[in-house]
Amino acid sequence: MDIEENIRTWLLKQQDWLQEAADRLLKQGQLTDEDIAQLASLLKTADGQAVTRHRPLDELRHDPKDVSEIRLARIDGVAGIESLGPRKPLDFGFGNLTVVYGHNGSGKSSYTRILKKVSGKPRAMELKANVFQAPPAESKCQISYKHDGADHSSEWHIGSAPIEALRQIDIFDSDEAGHYLRGESAATYTPPAVGLFEKLAAATDKIKELLQTEQAKLTSALPVIPADYQNTEVARSYGALHTIRNVADLEALLTWTDEQAQSLNTIVERLKADDPAALAKQKRGTKTQVDQILSGLSKAFISYNADNLEAIRCLRQAAVSKRQIATEGAQVQSAILDGVGAQTWRALWEAARNYSATPYPGTPFPATEDARCILCQQELMPEAQQRLLDFESFVQGKLELDATSAEDQHKAALDLLVEAPTEQLVQTQCEASGLNDGKWKDFLWAFWSRAAAARLALLNEEVIEDAVPVGDVKEAQLVLETYRDQLQADAVQFDADALQFDRAKATTDKLGLEAKKWVSQQALAVRAEIERLNNFKTYDGWKTLANSRQISLKATDISEKVVTEAYVARFNQELRTLGATKIQVELVKTRTKSAKVLHQVRLKGAKNAQGTPETVLSEGERRIISLAAFLADVADKPGSSPFIFDDPISSLDHDFEWHVACRLVQLAKHRQVLIFTHRLSLYGAMDDVSKKEGEAWQKQHYRPMCIESYAGTSGQPADQEVWNTNTKKANNILLTRLDTARKTGDADGAAAYRALAQGICSDFRKLIERSVEEDLLNKVVLRHRRSVTTDGRLSQLQGILPEECAVIDDLMTRYSCFEHSQSQETPIVIPEAPDLKVDIERLKQWRQDLSDRRAQLAA
C-alpha cells in the first residue's frame, strides 16, 4: 500500500468532523476561522462523531510541486534601524551568488537581522534603533524583490507583519547554528501528504482552543456559602455538586421540609431555654390543644362527610315515609273531626297522656271509668269513652310505632351532629396550638363554616339548600398529627435536656439545618450550576475528541518512512560534502509534537548521556555540523528562494572553509545565495570556486561587494576597491582618483591634495602586490586562495625579464612606506600629482607589455 492510500485508509476510520477537516485542507490548502468554527460545531453533533466513508479524498494523490521563485533585489531607504545609515541601496544584482564583505561593525549582521524579521523567522531578534542617537521619527526600510518574475517593492516598518512572499527565504547565522546544535527541529519541508498531518494537528489545536474559549465562558454564578456553614455536611455537598449523579440526590439536597423547619425551631428553642422542664410542660400543653383541634376535625368530618349526610337523609326520608303511612292508616271510626294522627294531634294526645297522670294517678291512660275528659272536664259519655279508647288503640298500633321510631332515629342523628365553634374560638385554638400561620386559621374557619352550613341545612331538612360535605381533611390531619408528635418529641427532648444538655452537638445540628435551609434557598442557582457543570463536562469530552495525539501517532508512522529517512540521508550527505565525516555525530528522530517529527543532532556512540555536541565538539566542529544540519533541512525544498549566510565559516579552518565555499557555489547554481562575511579568505575562495564553474558563469552570477561603516553609521555599500577588481581596472580607478585629487588640490590647496593622495599611494602599493600575484606570477599563487594552481599557468612564467622585475622592485621600494610603518626619522613624502601619475601609468604599461609579450610567445 502506498503512502497516499495508507493515509486515505486511516482517514476513513476517523470521525466525520476530522474527515471533513482533512477534506477541506486537501481542497483549500488551509482553514479559515469560519472553517474552524464550522468544524467545531460539527464535532459537537452525533453525526460529526460518527465514522463515515463517503469522501473520496482524491486530492491525496495530487502532489503539486512548488515552482515559485523568489529573488532579493536590494535593500534601500533604511532609516532608524540598528546603526545602519546607507546612502546607497544594498543591491544584490542579477546573478545567483553575491558575497558581501565588510569589517566587524560594518553592518553585515544588521542586514541579516532585517531579512530574518521581514521573512518571519522564528528566531529573529527584535530590531532597535541606534542607541547612540536620538530616537528616530520612524524605523523602516524598502525591500525590493522578484516573485515569479514580477517586481515587487514593499516598505516595511519595525513592528509590522512579515512580508508574506519572503517567508520562503532561508537564513543561516549564529542563532540558527545554535538552534540546530541545542534544540529539536522539524524538517522544514515535508511532502504535502505528510504535511496534511501537521495542518490537521494545527486545525485540531485551533478547534480545541475554540472549544476551550467557549468552555471558559461557562462561568459559575453559584453563591458562596456563608463562612459559618463551611464545615457542615451540606456545605461539603454544596461544594461538590459535580459529584451528584441523579435527580433524587439533587432533590434531597435542595428540599427543605416542614419537619426540618420544626427541628431547627426546636433546636433554637433548646439553645435559648433556661428552664427545659417548663418548656416540656408548655409543649405538652400545646400538644393538648392540637389534639383538641384534631378531635374536632375528626368528629366534624364524621358528622359532615358525604356518607353521613346521605345516612341522615335516609333517616329523614324514612321518618317522613313512615309517618305518611301511619297517617294514611289512621282509621278511627268513632272520630268526628279530621286530622286524627297528624303531628299536631299526636302532640295534643301525648300532652293529654302526661296530664292524665295528675287527676288519675295509677289509672292507665285514657281513664274512662268514672272519669271526666281531661281537656273539657265533662263527664264522659259511653260514646266518648269508646272514642278515647279507639284513639289510644290507634296510637299504640304498629304503624304509629314505626313512624315514631323512625322519627326518633332521625332526631337522634341530628342531635349527634357536631356544633361548629365560633370564629373567635377558632382563632383562640390556633393561637393556643402554636398554629400562628394565618393559613391555619383560615383553613379551620372555612372548614367549620362548611360544617355549620351543613348542620343548618340538615336541621331545616334541606328545604332551603342542600347540605354540602365538608371535604377531606386527611392531609391537614396528617400535618397536625406530625406537628403533635413533634411537640411530644420536643417535650421528651426538653425533659432530657432538663437532666443533661449537649449544647455543642445541638449547636452543630443547628448549623447543619441552617446550612440546609440556606442551600434550599439557592435552588435556582444550584440547578443552573448543575447544568453548567454538565455542559462543562460535555466540553471536556469534545476537547478530548479534538486531541491531536492520534494525528501525531499516525504522523510519526508516516514520517518515519517519508521524512526521517530522507532527512537523515541528506544530513549524512552534507557531512560528506562539507568534509565533516570524521566528526562523530548523527541526526536522530526524538519525538513527535503536533504531528511534526522532531530531530536532533547527537554524538554518535557517546557512552555518557550528558555529552552533547555543544559541550564536546570544538567551536569549528560545531559550526560545520550546524551548517550541515541547516543545509540538510532546507536545501531540497521545492521552488527557488534565496539562501542567506551570515559569516558561515566562523571558526572554521581552511579545509572546512574550502568545502563550504564549494558547497555554496553548488547551491548558487540553482538558487540565489547571499553571503555576508568578514573573512577575506572566504572572499577569495568564493572567487576561486566560482571561477571553476567557468568564466561565463562567474561573470553572470558572481557579484563581490563591500560595505563599510563611517561616522557612527554602517551598512554603506562601498565602491569596488583596488584589491577587489582586476588589476587593469584597478589601475584605471587609481588614475581617476588621482585626477580628482589633483583638481581638489588646485581648488583647496596642497593639504587637500595630500589627504586624497595618501590613500591613492596606499592603494597603489596594494595594486603592485596584486600585480605580482595576478600578472607576473599569472595567479599561480594567491594570498586568499587555498590551492596553488599550476594547470595552464606555469608555462606563462618562463622567460620573466630582469627589467620587468626591476620595475616592480623600484615601485615596491618607493611605495612600501605607504603600507608599512617607517622610522620616524625618515619622512614620508607624498609625490606630486604628475610624478604619481607617471608611476601609475608605468605600472599600467608594464602590465600591458607583459601581456603582449606572453601572447606572442604563446602564438
Q: For residue 157, what pLDDT is reported?
A: 95
Q: What are phi and psi of 234, to 5 degrees?
A: -65, -40
What is the model's pLDDT at position 675? 95
Q: Same domain, yes or no, for 145 and 157?
A: yes
Q: How confident is the model at residue 396 (pLDDT cuts 50, 70, 90)?
A: low
Residue 524 lies in a domain: no
Per-residue pLDDT, 407: 84
Q: What is the DSSP string of 413-440?
A: HHHTSPPPPPHHHHHHHHHHTT--SHHH
Q: Which of 509, 541, 563 is the last residue of a domain?
A: 509
Backbone φ and ψ of 249, nearest 5°: -65, -40
Q: Are residues 449 and 300 in the same domain?
A: yes
The arithmetic mean of pLDDT across residues 21-47, rounded, is: 93
* pLDDT digit string, tens, across residues 416-431: 999 999 999 999 999 9
Average pLDDT for 173-196 = 80
315-319, 526-530, 678-682, 729-733: segment of lowest average pLDDT = 678-682
User: Do residues 496 and 472 both lie within one domain?
Assistant: yes
pLDDT: which is higher, 198 or 119 = 119
Q: Indicate whether 194 belongs to any domain.
A: no
Return the sign of the alpha-carbon dihedral for residues 243, 245, 249, 251.
positive
DSSP codes, 797-845: GTT--HHHHHHHHHHHHHHGGGTS---TTS---PPPHHHHHHHHHHHHH
Q: Which has more confidence, 740 or 788?
A: 740
Confidence of residue 513 (pLDDT cuts 50, 70, 90): very high
Mean pLDDT for 143-147 is: 95
Q: Are residues 88 and 148 in the same domain?
A: yes
Judged against a pLDDT cut of 60, whether residue 824 lies above it is answered with no
DSSP 3-state of 448 = helix
Starting at the earlier edge strand, list the strands of the sheet with 643-646.
Answer: 170-172, 643-646, 673-677, 97-101, 702-710, 713-717
- Please say whether the beta carbons of 604 and 587 come within 8 A: no
| 3-state SS class at 239 | helix
Residues 6+ apart with CB under 8 A from 140: 77, 78, 79, 80, 81, 155, 156, 157, 158
> Could you check whether the bond before residue 366 is cis, i.e. omega within 30 degrees of 0?
yes
pLDDT at 467 over 80: yes
Cα angle vertex 135, ends 132, 141, to 5°?
A: 100
Residue 745 and residue 679 share a domain? no
- 624: nearest Cα among 601, 649, 647, 646: 649
281 and 430 inside one domain: yes
Report which secondary-structure segment, H or E, holds 714: strand 713-717
- Determine contact, residues 600/685, Cβ cutoff 8 Å: no
Measured distance CA(101)–CA(512) in Å, rounded: 84
Q: Which residues pair with 90 in a beta bridge?
A: 75
SS (H, E, C) 347-380: HHHHHHHHHHCCCCCCCCCCCCCCCECCCCCCEC
Residue 784: pLDDT band (50, 70, 90) is low
Burial 608-632 (b: 16+ CB within 10 A, else e): eeeebbeeebeebbbbbbbbbbbbb
Within this chain, do residues 589 and 644 fall inside the same structural domain, yes or no? yes
Q: Is there a domain that residue 239 lies in? A: no
pTM of the model: 0.57
> What is the mean predicted confidence (pLDDT) over 101-120?
92
**In CATH, what number is assigned to the domain containing residue 139?**
3.40.50.300
Residue 558, Ramachandran bin (φ over 0: left; ψ between -120 and 50: alpha; else beta): alpha
SS3 content of the chain, % helix, strand, coil (to 5): 60, 10, 30
Q: Domain check: are 327 and 373 in the same one?
A: yes
Q: Do the domain assignments include residue 243? A: no
Query: 328: pLDDT confidence band, cut at 50, 70 and 90?
Result: low
Cell 291512660: give the residue: 365
How many CB atoms within 10 Å of residue 233? 11
Crossing angle (nearest 10°) for helices 174-182 and 619-634: 90
Mean pLDDT is lowest, of 101-110, 780-789, 819-828, for 819-828
Q: Are residues 60 and 78 in the same domain?
A: no
Q: In terms of domains, do 296 and 435 share one?
A: yes
* Rounded average pLDDT over 183-202: 78
140-147 and 150-157 strand pairing: antiparallel
* Buried/exposed 808-842: b ≥16 CB within 10 Å, e otherwise: beebeeebebbeeeeeeeeeeebbebeebbebbee
Q: Is residue 229 part of a domain?
A: no
Q: What confidence score (pLDDT) does residue 642 get?
A: 95
Q: What mean pLDDT is predicted for residues 453-472?
A: 90
Task: Let me know if residue 385 belongs to a domain.
Answer: yes
- Cell reading at 450: 362548611
Question: What pLDDT band is residue 724 in, cutting at 50, 70 and 90?
Answer: low
Is 646 found in the same domain as 752? no
pLDDT at 63: 59
138 with 120, same domain? yes
Number of compact structural domains in the chain: 5
Check residue 284 and give its pLDDT: 92
Which whole number is the average pLDDT over 827-836?
86
Identify which has the larger pLDDT, 524 or 679: 524
Q: How confident is the model at residue 395 (pLDDT cuts 50, 70, 90)?
A: low
679, 668 contact by CB (below 8 A):
no
Residue 523 lies in a domain: no
Q: Is the pLDDT of residue 591 over 70?
A: yes
In Å, how far are 426, 435, 441 from 438, measured between CA atoms?
A: 11, 8, 5
Q: At residue 710, does pLDDT exceed 70?
A: yes
Confirm whether 452 is domain-assigned.
yes
% of the chain exceeding 90 in pLDDT: 42
Give pLDDT, residue 211: 95
* Domain of residue 571, residue span: 72-187+551-689
Average of per-residue pLDDT values in the chain: 87
383 Cα distance to chain centroid: 122
Q: Angle at the Cα of 462 (from 457 to 468), degrees rounded to 5?
A: 55
